[in-house]
Amino acid sequence: MKIVLDAMGSDNYPVPDVAGAVQAAREWGDEIMLVGREEAIQQELSSLDLTGLKLEIVHAPQVIEMEDEPAWAAREKKNSSMHVGMNLVRDGKADAYVTAGNTGGVLAVATLHTLRRIQGVRRPALAVILPLPAGRAVALDIGANVDCRPEHLLQFALMGTIYARAVLDLANPRAALLSNGEEPGKGNALVKETYKLMAGSNLNFVGNIEPKEIMGGHADVIITGGFAGNIFVKTLEATAKMLTDLIRDEIKASPLTALGGLLAKPAFGRVARRVDPFEVGGGPLLGVNGVVIVGHGRSNARAIKNAIGQARKAVQGRVVETIHDGLTRTKE
């Protein structure tokens, strides 16, 4: 398998990006193509032990930065690491593309300039893999489409189900609609209309779901429009950060609680490992003609390595081919 890693993706590129790629190459033995400014990548690699690894550098002179306006950058920076990297996948020279870069940029480059939509897909969707105490769940769309129609959400459900089967190894993933109440009549107009479509499909639809039940692992595929989905994911992230910061500060505030915190440290470590997004690494952009995994800008090397792991599973699970077949063969 050949995986393209955008070396110019994360907030601190190329340091964690290159280090994560090296970890992945060592762990799985795949060939990793590092795309970006050759000199910067070369320099980063020079300090690492590369014995026996299959690494290739593909030069791309431009970088889509985090603060770039996505549509503009996708149009104007045609030699960016995103363009060059995704074109390698489009042209069959690589199997997947992984980046921790500007999410809007990834969307624009993938859908408008390089890979483009799978035939029959109305709207590509950005998914996140939620690490929950009860296991993992896919949630989509989390921001690619802020205004959606029910038919879009039905396709998100199909694509999310295919991903959950292939990557989360679930035989019959339970799909649920994010809503403000579990009863069938609950939800805004979009949710109510989508509910009918989902109930009439051959997906394993388990009804509406609220955040508490998502955390409790009551569904495997969480379907939502991109606006509410974005609020959901960002609120989860912000609350977790607020609470952990607060706990850290208050524990440090007195010598006795600081000692307690020191003794309890392994417990905090276990908590982090059970719900750490960096253990997942990234979420897929579903509905484009190629495996694309998008990681968090704050990714460290471990997160990058795990994002590459997501890409491997998506390739092995034939996610893109299955979505293509699912959309052309049946009307689910």
- Find where tokens 């897929």 sit: 284
Nearest to 295 by CA among 46, 24, 52: 24
- Number of residues in contact with a copy of itself under rule CB under 8 A: 57
Min. distance of Cβ 107 from a copy of itself in angstroms?
13
User: Which of these segments, 32-40, 52-60, 115-123, 264-272, binds a copy of itself (CB under 8 A)?
Assistant: 264-272
User: Which of these segments, 45-53, 160-168, 252-260, 279-287, binds a copy of itself (CB under 8 A)?
Assistant: 252-260
Q: Is 228 in the site for a copy of itself (CB under 8 A)?
A: yes
User: Which residue stretches of 136-254 are H helix?
Assistant: 150-167, 189-199, 211-215, 226-252
Min. distance of Cβ 304 from a copy of itself in angstroms?
22
Min. distance of Cβ 145 from a copy of itself in angstroms?
9
Looking at the Cβ atoms of 171 and 262, the one nearer to a copy of itself is 262
Min. distance of Cβ 269 from a copy of itself in angstroms?
9
Nearest to 308 by CA among 13, 9, 32, 110: 32
- Give the integer Cα–Cα distance in Å for 146 and 33: 33
Please answer whether residues 161 and 173 qualify as being in contact, where contact means their C-beta atoms are separated by less than 8 angstroms.
Answer: yes
Please answer whether residues 36 and 60 qualify as being in contact, where contact means their C-beta atoms are separated by less than 8 angstroms.
Answer: yes
Min. distance of Cβ 215 from a copy of itself in angstroms?
4
Q: Is 275 in the site for a copy of itself (CB under 8 A)?
A: yes
Q: Of the candidates 155, 230, 289, 300, which one interacts with a copy of itself according to CB under 8 A?
A: 230
Identify the helix (H) or strand (E) that includes residue 332: none
Q: Is 133 in the site for a copy of itself (CB under 8 A)?
A: yes
Q: Is 234 in the site for a copy of itself (CB under 8 A)?
A: yes
Min. distance of Cβ 161 from a copy of itself in angstroms?
22
Query: Measured in whole angstroms, how far is the alpha carbon of residue 228 from the centre of its chain?
Result: 17
- Give the integer Cα–Cα distance in Å for 6 and 33: 8
- Give the integer Cα–Cα distance in Å for 272 and 78: 39
SS3 128: strand
Positions that interact with a copy of itself (CB under 8 A): 132-133, 143, 146-147, 178, 180, 187-189, 191, 210-212, 214-215, 225-228, 230-232, 234-247, 250-251, 253-254, 256-257, 259-268, 270-271, 274-275
